[in-house]
Structure 1
Amino acid sequence: MDRAIYTAMGAANAALNRQSVTSNNLANATTPGFRAQLSAFRAVPVEGPSVATRTLVTESTPYHDDSMGAINQTGRSLDVALPQNGWLAVMMPDGSEGYTRAGNIEVDSEGLLTVRGRPVMGDGGAINVPPQSELTIAPDGTITARGPGDEPSTLAQVGRLKMVNAKIQDLEHGDDGLFHISPGSANAGQNVLAADLNLQLIPGALESSNVSPVNAMVEMIATARGFDMNMKTITTVDDNEKKANQLLSLS
């Protein structure tokens, strides 16, 4: 079989992977704090008895766009927007931590603060709040509660959000939608990152996804056309091989 088929097949497979990443980004265009994943591919020359210009496509190290999304004021007391390189720590089932920029905090049936079903970490572990209390989050992450019927001046501190400072290149995106410590970072081998007490968040606001729906749609169309072009190349080469075989059989 002609080596051009393998070359085009590698490009078509890369287009499929790129389309998968783009569609996932587009599906999360309205997810708070979402970081767009970027596709990276490189050409690898084919060594051996072939034309020196032949190359195959392989995936390079995937990474994410670390640009900030728009900050939208929601007025909800449990919504927070994080600064650049700031992350909220959440508890994983094995006791380690995951990190997210989603600031839409909820209170579950047991009084735990959660983000996407994961307990939010505080100074000493998960944060538990009094039932039916009115919560307020300060810019430094301090959480205060006021019980039903209490005076406005009666506030009790119930914890402080654990915020960590990490570049997105030092984290890897997991299948659970959270970021984890990358094996290639300086903090590799650790279960948790240290809290950064100097980080300041924006209460009553959410950071939107940094995905541009328009750019994502354009990329999807371009990737689909590239895939079709490679599939036509495979079909053309295959037809040429069949015709060549017919000529050889006649001779």
Structure 2
Amino acid sequence: MDKMLYLAMTGAKHVDLQQATTANNLSNAHTNAFKADLASFRALPVVGPGAPTRTYVVDNTIGHDMSQGSLMHTGSPSDFALGSPGFFAVQAADGSEAYTRDGGYVLDANGMMRTRSGLPITGDGGPITIPTGYQVQLGQDGSVVGVPQNGKDRTPQLLGQIKLVNPGAKEVYKGPDGLFRMNNGDTATADTNVKLVPETLEASNVNAVESLVQMISHGRQYDMNIKLMQNADQNDQKATQLLAMG
């Protein structure tokens, strides 16, 4: 009877965690370049003096859905997306190098290129800064070109190079801040095969309808496990009554 109770209890717990994951995905259905979290659970064999048992259930997280979201042309020179697998580099809040696909930039008071969430966009030499008086143009290779707006010389100048990387989905993990980092704690090598798409933004890859269906399914699974726990308790009470009668 204990096995039945524990299996239902751990099942309910982890279905609840799955529900939280799905709810987080759904809340980010309109977050640019958001990658849906994937989670599952599995039975865990518990080995003891007797035969193994599958009493407990544990999380079996399988990472993130790295498929590309739809590309939306905005016409804004400050918007950009990635047209292939990969990321561009930013400086995280702790100063480390991290990676994202959420394109678009703004210039702060010092001319530093930042994401719309405020993170510096970096190249191989660190954060990219735009001098005053230049109109910025982005190239497909991540080049940041500035066209002087003052004086007679309007020759474009290379002001920086956005670091584009493609370490592979299995080599990175997503942190609580939504940024990706290398599993080994190292920094990724620049990849010239990653291409930037100017004047475009990438949408979230979350399917809102599918996520809603998953939430309904998780709710039913949770209720089923709770009902199983109640049945286990009732069976235990009846067994106790029968033993007392004997």
Calculate the TM-score normalised by the size of structure 1.
0.88
Q: Name the residue aligned to 1:178.
A: 179
Q: How does 1:207-218 map to 2 (within 5 A)?
A: 207-218=202-213
1:206 aligns with 2:207: no
Q: Which amino acid aligns with 1:215?
A: E
Residue 232 (str. 1) matches residue 237 (str. 2): no
2:121 aligned partner: 120
> Residue 24 of structure 1 aligns with which residue?
24
Partner of 1:118, secondary structure, is: coil
Secondary structure, aligned partner of 1:193: coil
Structure 2 partner of 1:185 = none
Match of 2:98 in 1: 98
Q: Shift in Å at residue 61 of structure 1? A: 3.9
C-alpha distance in 2 between matches for 1:121 and 1:216: 34
Q: How many residues get paired?
A: 245
User: Residues 195-224 of structure 1, C-alpha deviation per residue, up to 9 Å, x if partnerless?
Assistant: 123422110001111111111111111011
Query: Taking every aligned residue pair, what percent have the same amino acid on both sides?
Result: 40
Instruction: Determine helix, strand or coil for the equivalent of 2:238.
Output: helix
Structure-2 separation of matches of 1:96 and 1:219: 36
Output aligned runs, 1:188-207, within 5 Å: 188-190=184-186, 192-207=187-202
Unaligned runs of 5+ in 2: none
State the match for 1:85 in structure 2.
85
Secondary structure of the residue that 1:237 maps to in structure 2? helix
Q: Is the 8 A contact 2:43 2:54 kept in 1?
A: no
Assess, with a 3 A threshold, how the Cα gap between structure 1 residues 249 and 108 changes in structure 2: closer, same or farther.
farther
* Conserved 8 A contact 1:143-1:161: yes
Aligned residue in 1 for 2:169 = 168
Give the conservation status (yes or no) of the 8 Å contact 1:89–1:163: yes
Deviation at 1:122, TM superposition (A): 1.5
Gap runs ≥5 in structure 1: 183-187
Question: Which SS does the other structure have where 1:202 is aligned?
Answer: strand
